[in-house]
Each structure stands twice: as C-alpha cells, then as structure tokens.
C-alpha cells in the first residue's frame, strides 16, 4: 500500500458524509475523494437491476479518474445489492456499509431491536439473511422509511424540515410488547446520522441509535494500516449531476473537511 493512500467514499448523496467524517479521523494522512451520485438520488427508489447497472457504470468512471487504493460504499441501499458485482468487476478492495444487526442484537437488553433503512434496504434478501444469522433471539422490526434520506439532505442544505415529518418517519421503530420496549435502533442508511440530534430529541423514549460509521472506519484502517497525520490536500467532492452546490451545501461540505466539487 502507498504511504498516502487514496480512499474513495461513495454514496447516492450526502449521507456518506457521516462515514467520510469517521474515515477522515481514522486516516489523517490519506487522500480522500467524496463521490455522490446525486444525479440518481435517491437510490431507494430505483429497481434492483437498474441500480446495479448504474452503480457499476458510475464506479467504473470514478475508479478510472481517481485510481483509489480502496473504495468505501457508504450506502446501505447500494451495498446490500451491488457489492458482489463490484468485487467481481474491479480489483480495488471495497468496504461496504450494511445494517449493523449483529452488534445491535448483541447489545440490546430488551431484545426488541428496530432496523431503520430505506424501503429498498429493508426489502433486500441481504438484510433478511443478516437477521436470520445474527438476531440472536431478538425480535427485529424492519422499518422502511420512504422520506427520511431526503429529509436529511434537506436539513443539511439548511432547508426547513419539520419535527413532525421526522417523528412520523421514525415512529414505527418504537415497539412496546409484553412490558418491554425497543431499546436499540440500527441506522441502516448513512443519511440518518445527519439527523441524530433531532431523532434523539423526537424519540418517544430514549433508545440507542447505532451509527455504523466508526466500525467502517476501523475496517478501513485494518485494511490500509494507519496513516501519518498530514493530509496532502482537502478532500475532493465529485457530484455526478455536475450542479454547483448552494452556499449552504458548500458550508456543510467545508464543515466535513471537503473542498469544492471537482468539475465533472
């Protein structure tokens, strides 16, 4: 591996920034590229065949352009579907983001765990297999949210998002059964940690929301080894739409340590 590895973090939109942030901390010397397929956002609304073809095509272009040493697919909706195809087509190592069902079920005391993801992610066979293999006797409720990823993007762009809308999307996660209550909610979409403060405030009772980003960053360091602090340049942003970001988005990107989008 090179002394200054190039890591490409990929998502449909801005959710992968929550993963990017942890990777930036864990890999202070790496060159980072943040790529968002915003021209095709949200991934949760696309059919499986269409999404596989899209991600493979976009990834092919990104790998040619940036020659990464490692790619992080910071998107559950893509990872639960496309990873086998990506690994078969490209030689670069891929780290995926899949619902953190195993640690959630290992840690739940009430044994009532909810998985909050896009409608597509909670439908995936991959997610159902994780529950079969790792629920460890927990009662797992799958909650597919049609709107939360878009609400998270809007909030990050400083557009108005009401508490009522967020509360409505997360409400089905909260289950009371035989005197027990859900105590753990897996955030199975990388957009949702962008709303974590508000979800904590709006939850009908306190729960542990599991954000997989720190575990993904550890996995990246397992594969690449530690880097020496001293990033060569700010992270580059690449948006497939080619649209210039609004002032609010630019400010948000700067907050995540990302420079201006590269011309596409």
Binding site for ligand DGL (CB under 6 A): 11-13, 15, 41-44, 75-77, 118, 121, 149, 189-191
**Nearest to ligand DGL of 5, 42 (CB atom):** 42
Selection from 37, 40, 46 nearest residue 14 by Cα: 37
Cβ atoms of 76 and 99 closer than 8 Å? yes
Compare residues 5 and 99 and give the one whose CB is closer to ligand DGL.
Answer: 99
Query: What's the min distance (Å) between Cβ of 85 and ligand DGL?
Result: 17
Q: What are phi and psi of 21, to 5 degrees?
A: -55, -45
Give Cβ neighbours of residue 146 (< 8 Å, ≥ 6 apart): 44, 119, 169
Task: Encode 182-207 in three state secondary structure.
Answer: CCEEEEECCCHHHHHHHHHHHCCCCC
To ligand DGL, the closest distance from the beta carbon of 98 in angstroms equals 9
Contact 76, 121 (CB under 8 A): yes
Indicate the residue among 5 and 44 with the shorter CB distance to ligand DGL: 44
CB nearer to ligand DGL: pick between 15 and 245: 15
CB of 2 to ligand DGL, least distance (A): 28
Residue 97: closest CA among 20, 174, 185, 200:
20
Chain centroid to CA 247: how far? 23
115, 138 contact by CB (below 8 A): no
Nearer Cβ to ligand DGL (23/110): 23
Q: Which residues are catalytic?
A: 75, 189
What is the rounded CA–CA span in Å between residue 71 and residue 158?
29
Taking the least distance from each CB to ligand DGL, the nearer of 13 and 261 is 13
CB of 169 to ligand DGL, least distance (A): 13
For residue 263, give both structure tokens: 């011309």
Q: How far is the CB of 152 from ligand DGL (least distance, A)?
A: 8
């Amino acid at each position: 591996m090179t002394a200054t590895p190039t890591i490409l973090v990929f998502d449909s939109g801005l959710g992968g920034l929550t993963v990017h942030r942890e990777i930036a901390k864990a890999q202070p010397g790496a060159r980072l590229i943040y790529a968002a397929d915003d021209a095709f956002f949200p991934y949760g609304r696309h059919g499986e065949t269409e999404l596989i073809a899209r991600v493979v095509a976009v990834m092919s272009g990104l790998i040619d352009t940036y020659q990464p040493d490692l790619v992080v697919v910071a998107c559950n909706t893509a990872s639960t579907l496309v990873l086998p195809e990506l690994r078969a087509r490209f030689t670069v190592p891929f780290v995926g983001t899949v619902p953190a069902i195993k640690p959630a079920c290992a840690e739940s005391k009430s044994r009532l765990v909810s998985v909050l993801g896009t409608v597509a992610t909670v439908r995936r066979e991959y997610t159902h297999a994780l529950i079969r293999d790792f629920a460890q006797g927990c009662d797992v409720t799958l909650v597919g949210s049609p709107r939360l990823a878009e609400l998270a993007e809007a909030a990050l762009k400083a557009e108005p998002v009401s508490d009522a809308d967020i509360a409505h999307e997360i409400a089905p996660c909260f289950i009371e059964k035989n005197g027990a209550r859900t105590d753990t909610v897996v955030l199975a979409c990388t957009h949702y940690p962008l709303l974590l403060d508000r979800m904590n405030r709006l939850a009908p009772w306190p729960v542990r929301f599991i954000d997989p980003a720190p575990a993904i960053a550890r996995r990246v360091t397992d594969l690449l080894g530690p880097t020496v602090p001293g990033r060569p340049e700010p992270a580059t942003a690449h948006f497939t739409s080619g649209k210039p970001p609004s002032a609010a988005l630019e400010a948000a990107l700067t907050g995540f340590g990302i420079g201006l989008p590269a011309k596409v």
